[in-house]
Chain A
Amino acid sequence: MSADLGDRVDALGTRGTVAAAAVLAAVLAVAGLAVTGSGDTVVAVVALLFSKSTLAAALRLSVPIAFAALGGIFAEKSGVINIGLEGLLIISAFAGVYATSITGSVWLGVVGGVVASTLLALLFAVVCIEFRADQIIAGLAIWLIALGLAPFASQVVFGSKNASAGATFPDIQQLLADTGLPVVSTALVGALDALAGVPFLGALFEASPMVYLMFVAVGASWWTLNRTSFGRWVRASGENPKALDTAGVDVTRVRYAAVLLSGVLAGVGGAALSLSLGQFVGNGPTMVNGKGFIAIVTYLLGNYNPVGALLSTMLFAGLDALQLGLQGQDVLAIPQSLVRTIPYVSVIVVLALFGRTRIPEAAGEYYESGEE
């Protein structure tokens, strides 16, 4: 096990390094095409890369992707490829805003997002596990349903495809200060305040609570998958469901649990996305804008390891943050709409380089107990 783990970390390391290099190369290629200035531009880009605001943006942008990726890992490890993560993010992004606008609490908003996403995941699970639907098509349907339903509901409730929640997450310092606990609300906040002043890394100490929740979720997911019985069942269910079945564990239940868990996790991610801005944007591909699909690529790249998925998420989110920074500062002579393609192009590059991921043996296959 430990040797195995070491291997996995090793594999992750190599993959991660090569991936980072590849993505960087992609960025440079795109940048190189349109860079008109020379030294100054490079300096400006590097400065932007290591600015605190970029890290802060990267962390913020990581949250929905990382949560969706964690959800995707559980579902796919159990043998159900959940390509509908995008849809789960969309529905929970809207439900989060809707619940917040009614209750006035972002936390209840998150709960609302989770409930909506889990219900949609339940529909997906029933369709795939009970009615043997093709998982890819069903996942696509989940996306399409959410893509129609969220703006529809927004239009009905708010009279517009875009909706405001009227509240956003407090930052961590405010949250802690509000607790009123003796040391926490004073000394700890003071310490955080001081650390937040550090250049670049300071962003780690004044992030939204959802960022910290993301780190916790990654750790907990890793533990669940690798150290608990449930995690083993999930893995066995995706690799050789019959082995699990004959060992007396109900494969159907494990798969239901895993898909619902993916709904819960994606729900947190979707709600975090919309509530960190305090609004839902339902135009075109909605504010989720492909994050669910990027999440799939991040966990493939992270080899189904939650930690690996987080690292590759940060990579993509970092690119997105850089892209936003570039748009904001007008450093490069590249038009915005082209800069916006960087994350998508890098997904394709990464997938082309690491397409040969070993997916779970039985992923995508319907399983029926007792079938010979």
Chain B
Amino acid sequence: MTEAVRLDGITKRFPGVVANDDVTLSVERGTVHALLGENGAGKTTLMNVLYGLYEPTEGDVYVDGDGLTYDDEGAVADAPRRFDSPRDAIDAGVGMIHQHFMLVDPMTVAENITLGNEPRKWGGLAVDRAAAREAVLDLSERYGFDVEPDATIEDIGVGVQQRVEILKALYRGAEILILDEPTAVLTPQEVEDLFEVLEELTDAGKTVIFITHKLGEALEAADEVTVLRDGKNVGSVETAGTTREELAELMVGREVMLETETPPATPGAPTLTVDGVSANDERGVTAVDDVSFTVREGEVFGIAGVDGNGQSELVEVVTGLRKPTAGAVALEGTDVTDASRRARTRAGMAYIPEDRQERGLVMDFDLSENGVLGSQHDAPFAQGGRLDWTYADDHAADIIEEYDVRPPDATAEAKSLSGGNQQKFIVGREFARDPACIVASHPTRGVDIGSTEFIHDRLIDLRDEGRAVLLVSSKLDEVRGLSDRLAVMYRGRVVDVVDPDEVTEEQLGLLMAGEEPEDVPRADPVADAADATDGVAGTPPADDADAEVADD
């Protein structure tokens, strides 16, 4: 066995936090090694140490893309590395592809790939653009990538951008590639393509470390998996000799038993009607294209899709944050297409926004003040333009109590709360409006398991009270588990509306990737029944577990 990377007893402390606690990790050359764990388990911190972004508080880093050397007793003979900056790591052959791509949008593929290492001519007075282009084409051909060097980053798709990131690392001579949550933004098909690329790379002798919280993907793509929990290495296993259950248990430290049991809905009259809505994104490009659907009282209508296919813009049109270019939105039979945010809130529309820290809460306000957000002009919060802070304090205290927000202190600033508690407070505030219609956009994104279950239960309760729920989520299991009807969006269009109990993950995946519904093979009744039983019996399908422990 030849290791390309050995991390020996790495500890990384931040003021008040131990992100990595004595982690030892060994990665064999020419393999894919998955680093698996929940959010906050310390995966990214560990890799940032390897990439020179952080200096470890304790421990040694050994790296050699061609494999480490050993002395007679089997100990590593290489000197430990000391990376002061990513530049040092790059020089040692380590490349990192971050979760959020490190690309300069208005620049071209070739400019991005060569950034910081531009081939020069005329004694440095000019970038040799022809040489840069050639180098990119060469690399791209060698690994079977299909990228156009002169395309501008903002014009190419996410999957291609990811390849540009990989090429960027390869251009810098990376022998060891670190990929941070590479599948988060990809369609299932793009994920498959990525895994093929990873195989190409390891065949060519590269070593890949792949950070993920999805154990299904870790099992599929990796040769070996290391699980981190609370900053500690809780075990490294060969994928060949392990099971999903074993990995799941390692990850969360207890047996994972998650089920979404939803009694059937009894839908009533239409509450929210979206009719032929189109809208543009910030750049003026069509993001929502002629979308129509109706959400009835007493049902959850789900929208599934890979992030960035128009869901966000659609939600903004529905809630009054974005003007549609065409179409109409009606709430309980009244046209609200031109109604303001405030008018819609007053008309009974609650809204859990996808970005709680940007939109949902004013981070520097305390919870009392945040409890007023959206109602600051309405009685009983305001009387004749004057705010009643005594009422607001009581209101916030009620939400805190009912939704178990911690710390239970209405004077705490929103920014001092954890993500899950922030979300619970928003959910509590929105539900307290006694809404006819609830628009919930990624309501459990980045929320811990306990809060997720709680929010799910509350959504179902509200549905059963006869309210209409529009649920948008990129977590497949969430939309499948909660929705009574499920629309799939791709490139701004609703490609199909399905009964979530009658489609498989694979079929949904194909729809989300833009396949026409008629081209998607429907599962035969037997398999269908099996799938349904799966959910009811409470043995969670593996991918459910994936997403549930997921925490982006």
A248 touching B127 by the CB < 8 A rule?
no
B266 CB, min distance to chain A CBs, angstroms: 46
Chain A 215-244 residues near chain B, CB threshold 8 A: 223, 227-229, 232-233, 235-236, 239-240, 242-244
* Residue B195 lies at the interface, judged by CB distance under 8 Å to chain A: no
Instruction: Known A239-B107, A245-B86, A246-B102; judge A3-B115 contact (CB<8 A).
Output: no
* Residue B85 lies at the interface, judged by CB distance under 8 Å to chain A: yes
Instruction: Known A4-B108, A229-B120, A232-B115; judge A243-B102 contact (CB<8 A).
Output: yes
**Considering only CB atoms and an 8 Å cut-off, how many residues of chain B contact the other chain?**
34
The residues of A that contact B112 with a CB separation of less than 8 Å are 243
**CB-contact partner of A370 in B53, B118, B126, B152, under 8 A:** B53
* Residue B87 lies at the interface, judged by CB distance under 8 Å to chain A: yes
B449 CB, min distance to chain A CBs, angstroms: 23
A243 touching B104 by the CB < 8 A rule?
yes
For A4, A223, A369, the residue with the greatest tally of chain B CB atoms inside 10 Å of its CB is A4
For A227, A246, A248, the residue with the greatest tally of chain B CB atoms inside 10 Å of its CB is A246
Chain A 283-298 residues near chain B, CB threshold 8 A: none
**CB-contact partner of A244 in B53, B115, B120, under 8 A:** B115
B19 CB, min distance to chain A CBs, angstroms: 10
* Residue B124 lies at the interface, judged by CB distance under 8 Å to chain A: yes
Q: Name the CB-closest residue of A to B97.
A: A246
Instruction: Known A236-B115, A244-B115; judge A370-B106 contact (CB<8 A).
Output: no
A235 touching B54 by the CB < 8 A rule?
no
The complex places the Cα of A223 from the Cα of B127 at a distance, in Å, of 10
The residues of B that contact A243 with a CB separation of less than 8 Å are 102-104, 112, 115
* Residue A1 lies at the interface, judged by CB distance under 8 Å to chain B: yes
The complex places the Cα of A244 from the Cα of B114 at a distance, in Å, of 11
B102 touching A242 by the CB < 8 A rule?
yes
The residues of A that contact B120 with a CB separation of less than 8 Å are 229
* Residue A338 lies at the interface, judged by CB distance under 8 Å to chain B: no
The residues of B that contact A244 with a CB separation of less than 8 Å are 104, 115-116
* Residue A249 lies at the interface, judged by CB distance under 8 Å to chain B: yes
The residues of A that contact B124 with a CB separation of less than 8 Å are 228-229
The complex places the Cα of A369 from the Cα of B55 at a distance, in Å, of 13
The residues of A that contact B44 with a CB separation of less than 8 Å are 372
Instruction: Known A228-B126, A242-B102, A370-B54; judge A249-B116 contact (CB<8 A).
Output: yes
A253 CB, min distance to chain B CBs, angstroms: 12
* Residue A361 lies at the interface, judged by CB distance under 8 Å to chain B: yes
The residues of A that contact B23 with a CB separation of less than 8 Å are none
The residues of A that contact B152 with a CB separation of less than 8 Å are 4
* Residue B214 lies at the interface, judged by CB distance under 8 Å to chain A: no
The residues of A that contact B127 with a CB separation of less than 8 Å are 227-229, 232
Chain B 104-133 residues near chain A, CB threshold 8 A: 104-108, 110-112, 115-118, 120, 124-127, 129
A1 touching B150 by the CB < 8 A rule?
yes
The complex places the Cα of A370 from the Cα of B44 at a distance, in Å, of 12
Q: How many A-B residue pairs have CB under 8 A?
A: 80
* Residue B463 lies at the interface, judged by CB distance under 8 Å to chain A: no
The residues of B that contact A156 with a CB separation of less than 8 Å are none
The complex places the Cα of A229 from the Cα of B129 at a distance, in Å, of 11
B126 touching A227 by the CB < 8 A rule?
yes
A239 touching B98 by the CB < 8 A rule?
no
B462 CB, min distance to chain A CBs, angstroms: 36
**CB-contact partner of A246 in B86, B106, B118, under 8 A:** B86
B334 CB, min distance to chain A CBs, angstroms: 34
Chain A 351-372 residues near chain B, CB threshold 8 A: 361, 369-370, 372
Instruction: Known A240-B102, A243-B103, A248-B86; judge A1-B108 contact (CB<8 A).
Output: yes
* Residue A247 lies at the interface, judged by CB distance under 8 Å to chain B: yes
The complex places the Cα of A182 from the Cα of B54 at a distance, in Å, of 63
**CB-contact partner of B125 in A1, A228, A248, under 8 A:** A228
* Residue B96 lies at the interface, judged by CB distance under 8 Å to chain A: yes
**CB-contact partner of A248 in B48, B90, B150, under 8 A:** B90
The residues of B that contact A1 with a CB separation of less than 8 Å are 108, 110-111, 129, 150
The complex places the Cα of A343 from the Cα of B118 at a distance, in Å, of 42
The residues of B that contact A247 with a CB separation of less than 8 Å are 86, 102, 115-117, 168, 172
B223 CB, min distance to chain A CBs, angstroms: 27
B102 touching A232 by the CB < 8 A rule?
no
The residues of A that contact B103 with a CB separation of less than 8 Å are 240, 243
**CB-contact partner of B107 in A236, A369, A370, under 8 A:** A236
The complex places the Cα of A352 from the Cα of B85 at a distance, in Å, of 44
B118 touching A229 by the CB < 8 A rule?
yes
The residues of A that contact B106 with a CB separation of less than 8 Å are 235, 239
Chain B 166-177 near chain A by CB (<8 Å), digits 1 or 0: 001000100000
The residues of A that contact B118 with a CB separation of less than 8 Å are 229, 232
Q: Name the CB-closest residue of B to A358.
A: B106
The complex places the Cα of A44 from the Cα of B111 at a distance, in Å, of 52
Chain A 306-354 residues near chain B, CB threshold 8 A: none
A3 touching B126 by the CB < 8 A rule?
no
**CB-contact partner of A240 in B96, B104, B108, under 8 A:** B104
Q: Name the CB-closest residue of A to B132.
A: A1
Q: Name the CB-closest residue of A to B129.
A: A1
B357 CB, min distance to chain A CBs, angstroms: 14
The complex places the Cα of A223 from the Cα of B111 at a distance, in Å, of 16
For B44, B103, B104, B105, the residue with the greatest tally of chain A CB atoms inside 10 Å of its CB is B104
A246 touching B98 by the CB < 8 A rule?
yes
Q: Name the CB-closest residue of A to B108.
A: A1
A224 CB, min distance to chain B CBs, angstroms: 9
The complex places the Cα of A249 from the Cα of B85 at a distance, in Å, of 10
B54 CB, min distance to chain A CBs, angstroms: 6
Chain B 40-54 near chain A by CB (<8 Å), digits 1 or 0: 000010001000011
Chain A 1-21 near chain B by CB (<8 Å), digits 1 or 0: 101100000000000000000
The residues of B that contact A248 with a CB separation of less than 8 Å are 85-87, 90, 116-117, 172
The complex places the Cα of A227 from the Cα of B129 at a distance, in Å, of 9
Q: Name the CB-closest residue of B to A242.
A: B102
A246 touching B96 by the CB < 8 A rule?
yes
The complex places the Cα of A284 from the Cα of B420 at a distance, in Å, of 56
Chain B 470-501 near chain A by CB (<8 Å), digits 1 or 0: 00000000000000000000000000000000
A-B contact pairs, 21 of them (CB 8 A): A223-B126, A227-B125, A227-B127, A228-B124, A228-B127, A232-B111, A232-B115, A232-B118, A236-B107, A240-B103, A240-B105, A242-B102, A245-B86, A246-B86, A247-B86, A248-B85, A248-B90, A248-B117, A249-B115, A369-B53, A372-B44
**Interface set of A (CB-CB < 8 Å, partner B):** 1, 3-4, 223, 227-229, 232-233, 235-236, 239-240, 242-249, 361, 369-370, 372
* Cβ-closest 10 pairs across A and B: A247-B116, A248-B87, A243-B102, A229-B118, A249-B116, A247-B115, A239-B104, A236-B104, A246-B102, A370-B53
Given contacts A228-B125, A232-B111, A246-B102, 13 further A-B contacts (CB under 8 A): A1-B111, A1-B129, A223-B126, A227-B126, A228-B126, A232-B127, A235-B107, A243-B103, A246-B86, A247-B86, A248-B90, A248-B116, A370-B53
